[in-house]
Amino acid sequence: MKAFVVDKYSKKGTLRLAEMPEPVLGDNDVLVEVHAAAVNLLDSKIKTGEFKLILPYRRPFILGHDVAGRVVRVGSKVRKFKLGDDVYARPRDGRIGTFAEFIAMDEADVALKPANLSMEEAASIPLVGLTAWQVLIERANLTKGQKVFIQAGSGGVGTFAIQLAKHLGATVAITASAASVDLVKGLGADVVVDYRKDDFEKVLSGYDVVLNSQDAKTLEKSLNVLKPGGKLISISGPPDPEFAREKGLNVVLRLVLRLLSRGIRAKAKRRGVTFSFLFMWAQGEQLSKIASLIESGAIRPVVDRVFPFEATNEALAYVETGRAKGKVVIKVR
């Protein structure tokens, strides 16, 4: 099968279009014919080697974390899916590889595709949908009447998180450029801070939750918008000791991550708020719940551009510019 692979970690290198063996199917796996895959900043970070200590892939490996497609084969113990099912997923770490014609995934990571979405729209959802779900529902326990600040509101995670937070009944503030105001307000944002003109820490205060997706400076400034007891949840680092424990990292890496996050954890404690790092995990049951929200009309996908499969490197380069509004998708079939 054709696939785009990482041969070596490099900031300037591109993915290689290669002929790769069809995935081996395990007893609990479904083999999916890939119709569409989305591109995420995570793909770029893995390509450059930024996560090689905690996600040690054996090169060459196929890149890609979002998929929508059709089940063409099932393992002997699979009970949830059958041949011909249209599905979507974010395959678990260690088994990524959606920039390909086929992928084998554990059925626990997979859900039926929302019936009202095209394959391209469905492929745009899993990683950002699961990230927003796990931050706002699993970690923050966001409830009606609370206030949440979501950074980069016009990005992939942002466009989904705005809609989920509004569905939960929260007041939503976001940062975005003036060019994105109509988009984010249309998704439900109540307060829009133009990051090119205004400093969000001087505009916002008394928030219950912050979803941080930016750099270390922005992370530290985010402490100032939280009320006592508030929660600062970062998806862009630094990883904390709890993450190290969950990943089962060795003693040395645990110590390194503890030191990396020590500063922000200490500052959060002094302000009476909590800091935590979240690296989203594959979860088919959560994707099923997300599909129900999409089918009900509570959440809609936001797709910026669709590239042909052959232009996967161009799609990745476009994501790396940071200019995409919503998600960037590759049409494979």
Query: Domain-by-domain residue ranges, the chain?
Result: 2-124+301-331, 127-277
DSSP 248: T
The CATH number assigned to the domain with range 127-277 reads: 3.40.50.720
pLDDT of residue 32: 98
Mean pLDDT (the chain, rounded): 97
The CB-based long-range contact list for 103-106 (8 Å cut-off, 24+ gap) reads 103/23, 103/31, 103/32, 103/34, 103/62, 103/64, 103/67, 103/69, 104/23, 104/24, 104/25, 104/26, 104/29, 104/30, 104/31, 104/32, 105/29, 105/30, 105/32, 105/67, 106/26, 106/28, 106/29, 106/282
pLDDT of residue 79: 97
Positions of the chain with pLDDT lower than 70, given as ranges: none
pLDDT of residue 101: 98
Phi-psi sector, 206: left (phi>0), alpha (psi -120 to 50), beta:
left
pLDDT of residue 290: 98
pLDDT of residue 289: 98
d(CA 302, CA 288): 19
C-alpha neighbours within 13 Å on the C-beta side of residue 125: 35
Q: Which residues, other chains included, contact 14 with Cβ-Cβ below 8 Å and sequence gap of 6+?
A: 313, 316
Phi-psi sector, 29: left (phi>0), alpha (psi -120 to 50), beta:
beta
Pairing of strands 29-39, 327-331: antiparallel
Q: Is 81 helix (H, G, I), strand (E, B) or coil?
A: coil
Give the domain 2-124+301-331 fold: Quinone Oxidoreductase; Chain A, domain 1 (3.90.180)
Residue 320 φ then ψ, to 5°: -65, -20
pTM of this structure: 0.97
pLDDT of residue 295: 98
